[in-house]
A and B are shown apart, each in its own frame.
Chain A
């Protein structure tokens, strides 16, 4: 159970259209970050056993949390390279690619706020 720290690379991240309590002075385009992860075979077997009784598959939760953190930090690096100090309206998307791998994608609008 990990949550993002919020202020990474000195950027403010929000999934609302504006940063609450601040005004946007400049929009710098879309910042994106993505990563593709495959299931680990050992964890896969363990998750398969856990699947017998159902419930949370912790190995996958950890895997996806780690992967999403990476996608998010790539997005922030992209925004930082554009000279932004905040990313607003962040959205997550997940899609599965061949061979049991998943693509995690995070995108948002890089802005300068005051």
Chain B
């Protein structure tokens, strides 16, 4: 076997390896970089909010009269990256804590609540009471090779305005 043939074989093997594991590698490197960036932005936004106007009490604070109220809701659909799903699959063999999933779902819930705070700030309501956070999975059709996995976080509550 000549040198040229060996090089050609190495070339094709590396191409096929890249096509197989390239997206996963991209998912692992760029995905974690992207998600860390989003988390940093969220932390800054949470700091800017200051005093938290949201609670999950079923009644407004005693001693204040409410002049108007309205339902307010926000939903966020979130998906873990392929790399995180792979880590989750491997992790679920052994059981225990799945950090890869908990990071992305924690981010999603906080993002939904933070968006609620921001839309509360934009509107002229003072407080949001009776907060509920609900979760639902986007269905994966069984027959297809569809790898999309999404989780919907819905946060809703009653916005109130004090006199």
Q: B73 — which chain A residues lie within 8 A by C-beta?
A: 3-4, 68, 92
Please, how many angstroms separate the alpha-carbon atoms of A39 and B72 in the complex?
A: 25
Residue B67 lies at the interface, judged by CB distance under 8 Å to chain A: yes
Interface of B is mostly: mixed
Residue B98 lies at the interface, judged by CB distance under 8 Å to chain A: no
Q: Taking A12-B70, A20-B158, A65-B75 as contacts, is the C-beta distance between A51 and B132 under 8 angstroms? A: no
Count class of interface residues, chain A: 35 or more
B77 touches A44 (CB 8 A): no
Q: Taking A6-B70, A14-B158 as contacts, is the C-beta distance between A47 and B76 under 8 angstroms? A: no
Interface of A is mostly: mixed
B119 touches A3 (CB 8 A): yes
Number of A-B contacts (CB under 8 A): 156
B62-79, CB < 8 A from A: 65-79
Count class of interface residues, chain B: 35 or more
Q: B150 — which chain A residues lie within 8 A by C-beta?
A: 47, 51, 57, 60
Please, how many angstroms separate the alpha-carbon atoms of A14 and B68 in the complex?
A: 11
A94 touches B74 (CB 8 A): no
